[in-house]
Amino acid sequence: MNQSQFLQSLNFDPLRSPPLREIAQRHQRATMCGLLIESNDYCQCCGLGIHTHPISLKANIINLAFLGQGIPLFYNITFLLILLTFILFLIFGLPTIIFNFLAENCIEQTNQAYNIFITQGCSKNCPNENDDFKQIQQLISTSDCKIICEHYQELCVATLLSEMSFPNKQLDNDLKIIQSFFVFGSVIFIKIYLVLIREKQRIIETECDQELISPSDFTVMLNHLPEEDYDEKELATAIEQYCQKINNQIKYEVIKINIAYDIKSFVLKSREKIKLEKILSKEQKYYIKNQKYKRNKQEIEKIKLMVEQLKKDLYSIELEIENGSYRKTTSVAFITFQTKQQLQKLIQQTKLSYWEQLLMHVKRLIQNKAKRGFYFKDKLISIRRAPEPDDIFWENCGIENSIKIKRKFISWIVVFVLLGISFATLYGLEYLQNQYLSNDLDFITKTSISLLKSLIITIVDALIYYFITLLANHERHVTKTHQDTSVAQKLCCVQFINSCFLLLLIHLIGVGQKGNFMEKSKYAIQKQGGIANDLLFVCSMNALFTPITAFFNPIYFIKKLQQVFIESNKSLNQLEANKLFEGPQVLLYDQYAFICKTTWITLFLAPLTPICIFINWIGLSLYYWIQKYLLLRRNSKPPFQSSHLDREMLTLLDLSPILLAGMQYWIDEIYVSNNLSHSINIGTLVIAGLELVFPSYRIHQILYRKQLDDIENQRYVDVHLRFPTDYDRTNPLTSEQATQEFLKKKYEQFNKSMTYMRHSRKHSTKKSLREYVLKGIQDPTKSRIQVLKKKLQTAYKLKMFQNVQIQQETNYKESDHEDSIHTFNFPIYQRAPQYNFQRVINQFPNYSQYNSDLTNRSNSITSTIQLNTSKYQLTAKRNSQIQSFRAQLQ
């Protein structure tokens, strides 16, 4: 952005009412997803380029890499799951449906004995000499008329849906053996396919990494460290020794360690002091105007004493910081290695299977150290790849584990309450159907009840989504990535339980029915309105309803209607109008939860109702193209998405063959298959269960060892100046000093000779902490003006620095480009973004790109540590002050 555009942005009036449609539409174009065209036309409120070129819906997903690795990875894995579902339908679903049709074990509606029982009663007409009566005897497995009369209405009746399901071949052992072989082969195929998915995702991630190198490519995150009982030196020594112990073929070199310090006490006390000072300020203004106080003198004196005590507490903390004696380390630290290969090897060695994790926890309980565990001062330390620096909520690092456990416990209580409501509602419907309506319902009515059950499950799924996402914001996760992963995994698991397991449980309980468990289970599966029918409707509702509602989002169309009357709405200011024109947000955790849950439902129901494979193939295909259309044509541009969520959700998908094998084993046991079928099912279950002991990522490591080792061995010291941010530059206790060091190296790199004033660590640390505190201020008017002045001046200096960079690039065209760090040598999605005035003027201080998400701010976990004022709120004198700032800049 040139200087004239920079100064023009200062003329933007966010409080203008009624707002201008043209400005709101320009903001809408600036926030849409597209390739930026070189232009000097920018949105006045956010500083983003307006002229963007639309990306084709058929474009290669790698072209979306400028949005981060997570976006291409999501669309790639969705496409691969669509392909998996289609192949599974061809090799398992279609043949199984054909064999189910051929068996004809369900009672035809023309069965004379069945019709006599229905119309004239069973007890009077049993036994019956009709040949059709023998089929009923075979299905019930008895000639006892009392038992026959109890269960004849629960038999499988031939309809289009029932003829495609497993109960239609319940008496044919040969066909059941064939299905067991099909499931056995499908499980092996799926496990191989999931390994291939991992390799394809690795290739996509590697392609993105070549252009989007970041500090997380060299850094691991350590958790569960002993609090206030270690420093950088001893931690570095311990981790290097551990690395050499597990793999002595590579020399591990630790470049830097950044410890998350406990700043919670300082931040909370500072914010409390500011709030109390605001109360005193308001009381003083009220007294000047009315010659009396709102509160009594005792209250005011009490507030003054509290302020003085807080000042003393804060002074003691600041004194420790200034003296360098502040050592309140948390259980979280970030360790940066010299090369990607060192990081990759460490991650591979420390990632454990489910069985290994269980054994390690058992050994931990009996105080026995595991060989593969990293122990630091007798504590088992968790090692995982670090998220992006902007992902970290530094204040949450110091939250006590007891508070986190308590909040997670509350979240699960709410989830179980919702599941209880769902269970009670479904139980009531089942009880009503079995006790009072079982003899009177026709096929259409029973089908309607099944549809009603699926509708209730869908509504409860929506409530589960709302409360899980809401409560996740209060669980105080350390990083945004871990929060999204937690939400996605909870949504997938809980919604799957609500959609499938609760329905199964209600039917298997046998509400209002007599008989042993196996008998009740057999009839619960095959009867009209039973398990097979209900689960098929749930599958259809999930596969079709979710993509359609994503496209026909009622909230979006309500906003479109409100946009029509924007200029006549005097209660709306320009800021609110701009927000109204922004597109919906991209929520990857929601999208990953859907594709994972749909895959689970597909495989879980495949042995019972194989037609669900085809239905979910249609659903996933619709979802893929609808979400791609929404991203490129309707949604606002998402913040940078990392690959961490993709890796975690792949781990959940690896468990899906267990669901397929488990359902096959269960229905074969219910319908009493022969020994051969039973043996095959056990073998299938064992192969699927190997995932718990020998997971797919281990198989991938063995099969693609050469490709995994052949990674670009970049060195951190060679590329760290390219990083727009780093862990030490986002840590409040180290950010000021680290930023100064970074800028100094940048100037040295360009041989820029200029006076460089270096502040002491004590001053800069205290200053950074105070800035961090201001994130929680409500209406920080005075500080806001000072910050505005400082940041505008900084922006102008950065622009001048960029001009120097361009000039030097022109002068040194023939230099070695690989050794330069010129911004314009990089692809468009690697360049530093143009200066964003939305972040400079209106969000102070803002170290996280997620905080620039206007629409999602209220749901952010950091809402308690962000400004709660209106986004563009300035004082009444804002125009004159801005003019003075412009004069200084000129």
User: Does residue 739 have a pLDDT over 80?
Assistant: yes
Q: Give the integer Cα–Cα distance in Å for 717 and 736.
A: 20
Residues paired with 376 in a beta bridge? 379
**385-389, 526-530, 651-655, 824-828: segment of lowest average pLDDT:** 824-828
Closest listed residue to residue 197, CA positions, set 595, 653, 535: 653
Show the tokens assigned to 551.
Answer: 């496209």
Q: Classify the C-alpha dihedral 185-191-197-202 as positive or negative.
A: negative
pLDDT value of position 810:
44
pLDDT value of position 189:
96
Q: Which residues contact 815 (CB under 8 A, 6 or more apart)?
A: none
Q: Give the integer Cα–Cα distance in Å for 772 and 848.
A: 12
Q: Give the integer Cα–Cα distance in Å for 223 and 605.
A: 39
User: Does residue 353 have a pLDDT over 70?
Assistant: yes
Helix (H, G, I), strand (E, B) or coil at 257: strand
DSSP type of residue 19: P
User: pLDDT tens across 38-88, in order?
Assistant: 766 778 777 777 867 888 898 888 888 888 888 999 999 999 999 999 999
Q: Percent of the chain having pLDDT more than 90?
A: 25
Q: CA angle, 602 as apex, 90 and 698 as ends, to 5°?
A: 90
Q: Give the integer Cα–Cα distance in Å for 108 and 162.
A: 11
Q: Give the number of other CB atoms < 10 A from CB of residue 815.
A: 12
If you average pLDDT over residues 865-873, what whole number do you get? Answer: 29
Show the tokens assigned to 39.
Answer: 């232009």
By the 8 A CB rule, do 133 and 113 touch?
yes
**266-270, 521-525, 803-807: segment of lowest average pLDDT:** 803-807
Show the tokens assigned to 61.
Answer: 């997903």
By the 8 A CB rule, do 755 and 252 touch?
no
pLDDT value of position 443:
66
Q: Terminal CA-to-CA distance of the chain, rounded, Å?
A: 16
CA dihedral 307, 310, 311, 313 (to 10 degrees): 160
For the chain, where do the domains classified as CATH 3.30.70.330 start and end? 207-396
Q: So what's the architecture of 207-396 in CATH?
A: 2-Layer Sandwich (3.30)
Q: Give the integer Cα–Cα distance in Å for 467 and 485.
A: 16
Q: CA angle, 838 as apex, 836 and 840 as ends, to 5°?
A: 70
Q: Give the integer Cα–Cα distance in Å for 120 and 241.
A: 84
User: pLDDT tens across 264-317, in order?
Assistant: 888 888 888 888 888 888 888 888 888 888 888 888 888 889 988 888 888 887
Helix (H, G, I), strand (E, B) or coil at 246: helix
pLDDT value of position 412:
92
Closest listed residue to residue 332, CA positions, set 226, 409, 425, 404: 226
If you average pLDDT over residues 658-681, what whole number do you get? Answer: 91
Helix/strand/coil (H/E/C) assignment for every residue in 631-672: HHHHCECCCCCCCHHHHHHHHHHCCHHHHHHHHHHHHHHHCC
User: Does residue 418 have a pLDDT over 70?
Assistant: yes
Helix/strand/coil (H/E/C) assignment for every residue in 303-369: HHHHHHHHHHHHHHHHHHHHHCCCCCEEEEEEEEECEHHHHHHHHHHHCCCHHHHHHHHHHHHCCCC
User: pLDDT tens across 84-113, in order?
Assistant: 999 999 999 999 999 999 888 888 877 778
What helix, strand, coil percent values describe the chain, rounded to 5?
65, 5, 30
How far CA 114 is from CA of 440, 514, 531, 633, in Å, comes to: 15, 21, 22, 57
Residue with the bigger pLDDT between 682 and 757: it is 682
Q: Give the integer Cα–Cα distance in Å for 704 and 698.
A: 10
pLDDT value of position 766:
59
Residue with the bigger pLDDT between 8 and 220: it is 220
Q: Which residues contact 536 (CB under 8 A, 6 or more apart)?
A: 161, 165, 605, 609, 611, 612
Task: With 0.75 as the threshold, say if the pTM is over it.
Answer: yes
Q: Which of 113-127, 296-310, 849-863 has the highest mean pLDDT?
A: 296-310
pLDDT value of position 779:
39
Show the tokens assigned to 801.
Answer: 């620095």
Helix (H, G, I), strand (E, B) or coil at 477: coil
Closest listed residue to residue 609, CA positions, set 2, 156, 39, 63: 156
Residues paired with 856 in a beta bridge? none
> What single-letter amino acid sits at 297?
K
442: confidence class by pLDDT, cuts 50, 70, 90: low
User: Does residue 598 have a pLDDT over 90?
Assistant: yes
- The length of the chain in residues reads 890
By the 8 A CB rule, do 463 and 487 touch?
no
Residue 380 belongs to what H/E stretch? strand 379-385
User: Does residue 205 have a pLDDT over 80?
Assistant: yes
pLDDT value of position 324:
65
849: confidence class by pLDDT, cuts 50, 70, 90: very low
**Any alpha helices (H) in 125-263, and if so which ranges?**
131-140, 145-151, 160-163, 173-211, 232-246
By the 8 A CB rule, do 645 and 488 touch?
yes
By the 8 A CB rule, do 256 and 723 touch?
no
Q: Which of 198-212, 553-567, 678-692 has the highest mean pLDDT?
A: 678-692
Q: Give the integer Cα–Cα distance in Å for 282 and 294.
A: 9
Closest listed residue to residue 45, CA positions, set 559, 563, 575: 575
Residues paired with 340 in a beta bridge? none
User: Does residue 856 have a pLDDT over 90?
Assistant: no
pLDDT value of position 441:
55
Show the tokens assigned to 3.
Answer: 């200087």
Residue with the bigger pLDDT between 247 and 637: it is 637
By the 8 A CB rule, do 190 and 603 touch?
yes
Q: Give the integer Cα–Cα distance in Å for 126 and 145.
A: 6
How far CA 150 is from CA of 111, 117, 142, 528, in Å, comes to: 18, 11, 12, 15
330: confidence class by pLDDT, cuts 50, 70, 90: confident
Q: Give the integer Cα–Cα distance in Å for 278 and 296.
A: 17
If you average pLDDT over residues 16-38, what whole number do you get? Answer: 84
Q: CA angle, 327 as apex, 324 and 329 as ends, to 5°?
A: 140
User: Does residue 723 have a pLDDT over 90?
Assistant: no
Q: Give the integer Cα–Cα distance in Å for 478 and 457.
A: 33
**328-342, 705-719, 771-785: segment of lowest average pLDDT:** 771-785
By the 8 A CB rule, do 572 and 19 touch?
yes
Residue with the bigger pLDDT between 859 and 734: it is 734
By the 8 A CB rule, do 615 and 543 touch?
yes
Mean pLDDT across the chain: 78
pLDDT value of position 547:
94
Q: Give the integer Cα–Cα distance in Å for 134 and 149.
A: 14
Q: Percent of the chain having pLDDT more than 70?
A: 80
pLDDT value of position 8:
53
pLDDT value of position 431:
80
If you average pLDDT over residues 722-726, what whole number do you get? Answer: 85
Residue-wise DSSP of 77-93: HHHHHHHHHHHHIIIII
pLDDT value of position 618:
96
> What single-letter amino acid sits at 664?
Q
User: Does residue 776 have a pLDDT over 50?
Assistant: no
If you average pLDDT over residues 645-664, what whole number do you get? Answer: 93
User: pLDDT tens across 173-194, in order?
Assistant: 899 999 999 999 999 999 999 9
Helix (H, G, I), strand (E, B) or coil at 828: coil
Environment class of 711 (CB within 10 Å of its CB; exposed 0-12, middle 13-18, buried 19+):
middle
Show the tokens assigned to 685.
Answer: 């279950």
Closest listed residue to residue 271, CA positions, set 872, 867, 736: 867
Show the tokens assigned to 431.
Answer: 């009880």
> What single-letter amino acid sits at 496?
F
